[in-house]
Amino acid sequence: MVSEHDAQPAARSGVRSDAQVLVASNRGPVSYTLGEDGSLDARRGGGGLVSGLSAVDDKLWVCAALGAGDREAVRRGVAEQGVRMLDIDAEVHADAYNGIANSVLWFVHHMLYQTPLEPVFDAEFRRQWASFETYNRAFAEALAEEAGQGAAVLVQDYHLALVPGMLRELRPDLRIGHFSHTPWAPVDYFRLLPDDIAEQLLHGILGADRAAFLTRRWADAFIGCCTQILGGTGRTRIGVHGLGADADFLRRRAHEADVDERMAALREQTGPGRRTIVRVDRTELSKNIVRGLLAYRALLDERPEWRERVVHVAFAYPSRQDLAVYRDYTAEVRRVADEINAEYGMPGWTPVVLHVKDDFARSLAAYRLADVALVNPIRDGMNLVAKEIPVVSDHGCALVLSREAGAYEELGSDAVVVNPYDVSATAAALHEALTMADDERAARTERLAAAAVALPPQQWFLDQLDALRRD
């Protein structure tokens, strides 16, 4: 945490930054909290983009103000060097982020709809879509204003799918890239969207010189949509860049004192000598936490020999709590975990240890002591947890991995692979992972870790930049 005094004055006075590398994303690298005494605290985030961009000079990150603290920071002219936060009208932002990005585009790409009743594209949807256009236009205009001649602009994710097309019109001199961190929907599912909206989204991304994805599968799905709906991808190049784990950072951070403390606390909770099945996720609909719990219950039910010998350590951190469907899902995760503990628990053994408060040091502690990692999303762009656990694991960890995670393309051959909807098969996979011979588990972990770090964040970012400038 840094205080307001540590932050730099904003580079805003009508003078454009003339940056040569610009990144645009909804969530930026820093967020502000407004204290009761009026103070502003800045919290810096991590992740692939933060790490990747650190390798570049002469850069600007354009992001949205997300909460009251961020908005106040913009009003007071407080900003980190190299970051411009856009104070888009709060209602417009809520429509664009909660209404369209998270409730429509996220649902389409992760195929989350219960289609007998949803989606419904009505007048309310059209109203929110107009906000989504306004929000994308605010980004396009800010980028057009800030970019130096011929600069490279890397636009991130479904939130900003319309930006490349809008920016191309404003500044034809720029090199524009778009990167999707999510899966891309297959064409039959993408066509749930109203036809004009589907076309507008594809044209928006095709405004970029390059559209890039985390895996070949998602890139092919995008090409499939463009081909069938528009007749082709036009002049836009398609790229694949499979973001890897940041081994140097993770290994260093995972051996700091606070992580050791949390390992001791977790061992206390799980009990001596017990095996652990670890999962760490945002409480996100696509992460399939509930079916993971049901598979664990099936394991305890069908293979009683595991009772008292294993603990499911499940970290499910809050996400998108403005949306009722996420709040309901969070409640369901708690309910099923409680149910398992009530049904199978006994003095000295709590079958499920569920933590819902975000704590990065505790996540790393769980990574280190996991015997089995459960990563079973119903659909996921990549899933970095699947890559991080083998890198950090102290004594080798068997990975139970969904074939619907992007990480499956790189890690599938050394994981125990599951269909995420098949709870019985997931229970059998957990048993297989728990009984894997020590030498096999160690050898697989070594290969998983090598595959996981093949493309570290800085290289991932620089590769995109090089390709954008070259193509």
**458 CB contacts (<8 Å, ≥6 apart)?**
51, 52, 54, 55
Backbone angles phi, psi at 336, to 5 degrees: -70, -40
Site for ligand F6P in 313-342 (CB under 6 A): 319-320
Interaction pattern, residues 179-218, with ligand F6P; x per rule: CB under 6 A: --xx------------------------------------
Smallest distance from ligand F6P to CB 282, Å: 7
Q: Identify which of residues 80 and 284 has a Cβ nearer to ligand F6P in the complex.
A: 284
Nearer to ligand F6P, 11 or 280 (CB): 280
Name the minimum Å distance from CB 181 to ligand F6P. Answer: 4
* Residues between 17 and 36 that touch ligand F6P (CB under 6 A): 27
Q: Residue 363, interface with ligand F6P (CB under 6 A)?
A: no
Helices and strands counted in the chain (H then E): 19, 18
* Minimum distance of ligand F6P from residue 261's CB (angstroms): 27
Does 246 interact with ligand F6P (rule: CB under 6 A)?
Answer: no
Alpha-carbon distance values, 188 to 32, 247, 287, 302 (Å): 41, 38, 22, 38
Does position 237 interact with ligand F6P (CB under 6 A)? The reply is no
Cα→Cα distances 404→111, 132, 133, 188, 262, Å: 11, 29, 31, 17, 31
Binding mask 379-408 for ligand F6P (x = CB under 6 A): --x---------------------------
The nearer residue to ligand F6P, 156 or 276, going by C-beta atoms, is 156
**SS3 category, 189:** helix
**Which residue, 344 or 461, has its beta carbon nearer to ligand F6P?**
461
Residue nearest to ligand F6P (CB): 181
Question: Which of 179/344 has CB closer to ligand F6P?
Answer: 179
Per CB under 6 A, 426 contacts ligand F6P? no
Identify which of 458, 456, 384 has the alpha carbon closest to the alpha carbon of residue 54: 458
Instruction: By CB under 6 A, tell whether 414 contacts ligand F6P.
Output: no
In a 13 Å sphere around the CA of 20, the CA atoms on its Cβ side amount to: 6
> Per rule CB under 6 A, is residue 281 in the interface with ligand F6P?
no
- Closer to ligand F6P by Cβ: residue 191 or 282: 282
| Burial of 406 (C-beta count, 10 Å sphere; 0-12/13-18/19+) | buried
Which tokens hold the place of 444? 């697989």
Beta strands in 94-232 (DSSP E): 147-156, 175-180, 210-213
To ligand F6P, the closest distance from the beta carbon of 304 in angstroms equals 38
Q: How far apart are alpha carbons 154 and 160 in whole angstroms?
A: 11
d(CA 132, CA 99): 9
Q: Which stretches of the chain bind ligand F6P, using CB under 6 A?
A: 27, 157, 181-182, 319-320, 381
